[in-house]
């Protein structure tokens, strides 16, 4: 998979035209635009927002169910739950049948915040793609998915190999 290079590669490497660099800059811009909304308004972090938005309607999930739906790891979720509880936006009960499991749901206050934020982030979402046609948006999403799958495959390979080619 990792093959040889030639001298040209080295001479011509330009960060500005490096695909992963562009992706990162793109992602940072989008992420900042959206997260500013709920951070400035309610001091919510990305993890907190994700947790809330998953609990929003599908009330009463365990932490690990949130992990499955949010592409966050359990540490992240655990911390988001903690700080949301501190802010009284989320309530945690213990599952009667399996006392390792938590039963998480938004409080009324949490739901109110959530409902308040939704239109704001939706507006940002709309503004981000306002000059794209519906087709373009579809294409963008499907290409991103393709690349993402490639990336995930690569990551899988790496952690499997753990580094051996010189």
Torsion of CA 115, 121, 123, 127, to 10 degrees: -170
49 vs 161: CA distance, rounded Å: 35
Among 81, 115, 134, 160, binds its own copies (CB under 8 A): 115
Among 73, 88, 93, 147, binds its own copies (CB under 8 A): 147
Q: Is 27 in the site for its own copies (CB under 8 A)?
A: yes
**Beta strands 90-94 and 102-106, pairing class:** antiparallel
Smallest gap from residue 106 Cβ to its own copies (A): 12
Among 69, 87, 101, 105, binds DNA (CB under 7 A): 101
54 vs 48: CA distance, rounded Å: 10
Smallest gap from residue 149 Cβ to its own copies (A): 8
96 vs 116: CA distance, rounded Å: 32
Among 33, 78, 107, 121, binds DNA (CB under 7 A): 78
Q: Is 47 in the site for DNA (CB under 7 A)?
A: yes
- Could you tell me the two tokens for 89? 């936006």
Closest CA relative to residue 51, chosen from 94, 26, 80, 79 = 80
Instruction: Specify the residue, 69 or 79, whose C-beta has the smaller distance to its own copies.
Output: 69
What does the binding site for DNA look like in residue numbers (CB under 7 A)? 28, 39, 45-47, 62-64, 67, 72-79, 81-83, 92, 98-102
């Amino acid at each position: 998979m990792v093959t040889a290079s030639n001298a040209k590669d080295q001479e011509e490497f330009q960060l500005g035209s490096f695909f992963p660099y562009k992706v990162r800059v793109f992602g940072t811009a989008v992420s900042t635009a959206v997260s500013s909304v709920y951070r400035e308004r309610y001091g919510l972090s990305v993890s907190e927002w994700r947790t809330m938005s998953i609990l929003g309607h599908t009330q009463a999930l365990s932490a690990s169910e949130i992990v499955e739906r949010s592409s966050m790891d359990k540490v992240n979720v655990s911390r988001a739950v903690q700080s949301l509880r501190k802010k009284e936006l989320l309530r945690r009960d213990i599952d009667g049948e399996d006392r390792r499991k938590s039963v998480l749901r938004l409080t009324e206050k949490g739901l109110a915040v959530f409902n308040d934020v939704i239109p704001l982030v939706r507006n940002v979402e709309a503004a981000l793609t306002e000059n794209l046609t519906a087709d373009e948006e579809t294409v963008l999403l499907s290409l991103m998915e393709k690349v993402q799958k490639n990336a995930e495959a690569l990551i899988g390979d790496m952690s499997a190999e753990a580094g051996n080619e010189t």
